[in-house]
A and B are shown apart, each in its own frame.
Chain A
Amino acid sequence: MSFAESKLFTVSELNALVRTLIEDVYADVAVVGEVSNFKRHTSGHLYFTLKDADAQIRAVCFRGDAERLTVEITDGMKLVACGRLTLYEPYGQYQIVAREVHEAGEGELERAFLALKEKLEREGLFDAARKKPLPKYPMRIAVVTSPTGAAIRDVLSTLERRWPCAEVLLFPVHVQGREAVPEIVRALDRLPSVRGVEVAIVGRGGGSLEDLWAFNEEEVARAIHRCPVPVISAVGHETDFTIADFVADVRAATPTMAAEIAVPDRRDVLDGIDGNVRWLYAYMDNRLHLQATRLRELLRSYALGKVRGKIESSMQTLDYLVDRLARSIQNLVRTRRAAMEGTASKLQALSPREILSRGYTICTSAATGAVLKRVDEAVSARLVRITFADGSARGEVKERSNEG
């Protein structure tokens, strides 16, 4: 093609075009090379160069992915970077945007692991959108692991320390060897048929890559994926990542951490309840004070002879409420003694007795001490005691009148 026939691009157009071409063709590549010029930017993105004897390529790993890396990248390290190719248009430089970075040269298992991981990821088994939420307060927890391993010990002691009100169901399985995969798969498939299981912990303690291998098998991954009960994976130590971890609803770094994730701490939950109950008491105190204030205002109006009907019904309401509150507090005496004492003293201040100081009296039978509520009772008691705020007086009923 001659100069005159060539299509003329601006630089921007050309770079944009090349970028599209590269991105279309190399959306998913893995490249192995040695790291140099490694830089962790303050933004959290990682920049480095991968090179071999004859060539090099720029690589970037953005923060979201960088935070999930399990390797600590250093210059000179041999790495496999998996991701997509793109072109950084301002410099016309092509580069790999690494989604994942692994140390190179870990052999067959590592390659099988990466291949399966990519396959399942493409199928959507790791999608965040399909991860099931964990129950807040699980009362029945299944544990799929070896009955003799370190994992079950750690899980049980952690659950017992934090959340002893739960019930734990152990599905005993082999976690390594020939039986491991079919047993784990069968346990996961049967789990939903067990009544009331709200969450499952699946895993084992630490070991070599070979020991952990059952948790890198496709069948186990698919069994976790189709399990309708939320699954927490807990395989090995902090740094061990298995396929099971990616497909599980939540990945725990260790069995102990799985138990910590599965259940809340009983003490925190109790604190939360106490906080709410304390709040309710404070709220009720406040409401009753308001009511008392309103009553005092009404009493002042009453003194001016204005609102007789209103005050009488209001006082009756207060008496009723005070009685009722006192009853509900009595019911709680054992469990809420401290809170009760505070509230009871408030109640006393609000009791009808305080109202005596405003000119009301209580009339009781001198003989039996019974409160006299009706004129007939007073007539038949004849000798009465009249209680004022500051003392009492004895009297005799001389004449009956039905006027109020």
Chain B
Amino acid sequence: MKDEDREEGLEAAMERLERIVSDLEKGEFSLQEALDMFEEGLRLGKHCKAILDRAEMRVKKLVESEDGQLREEEIDREN
């Protein structure tokens, strides 16, 4: 479960969070179900924020080698 959490993409997590809110807004749920959704929503919010908190943008250059393969090469932003 923990590994799945890490792998979950931002878009999917955002959509799920929005879905939870709109479902709760619309639907009738038992307190039990609502709590499950509430907790999942908090987890998703935290997960999305963790992704967004990556502070430094990575920039790579694609270099084509002689055999035609593309290689990703880190580039130094200062230059």
A and B from one complex: yes
Q: Which of A1-9, A217-225, A270-278, A383-391 faces chain B?
A: A270-278
Q: Known: A165-B54, A273-B17. Is A284-B59 also a contact (CB below 8 A)?
A: no
0/1 string, A313-334, CB within 8 A of B gives 1: 0000100010011001000100
**Total inter-chain residue pairs, C-beta < 8 Å:** 107
Q: Tell me which of A167, A170, A269, A283 contacts B57 (CB under 8 A).
A: A167
Q: Which of A69-77, A131-139, A362-370 faces chain B?
A: A131-139
Q: Known: A166-B57, A194-B70, A321-B31. Is A277-B42 also a contact (CB below 8 A)?
A: yes
- Residues in B5-29 with C-beta less than 8 Å from chain A: 9-11, 14, 17-18, 20-21, 24
**CA gap between A277 and B72 in the complex, in Å:** 38
- Interface membership of A172, Cβ < 8 A: yes
Main secondary structure of the interface of B (DSSP, over half): helix
**CA gap between A163 and B58 in the complex, in Å:** 11
Contact B55 A164, beta carbon cutoff 8 Å: yes
Contact A291 B31, beta carbon cutoff 8 Å: yes
Q: Tell me which of A164, A270, A291 contacts B54 (CB under 8 A).
A: A164
Q: What is the size, in residues, of chain B's interface with A at 8 Å between Cβ atoms?
A: 38
The interface of chain A, by Cβ under 8 A from chain B, is 135-137, 139, 142, 147, 156, 159-160, 163-172, 190, 193-194, 266, 269-270, 272-274, 276-277, 279-280, 283-284, 287, 291, 317, 321, 324-325, 328, 332, 335-336
A-B contacts besides A165-B54, A167-B57, A167-B58, 9 pairs, CB < 8 Å: A135-B11, A156-B57, A168-B60, A169-B62, A170-B62, A269-B52, A273-B45, A273-B52, A283-B34
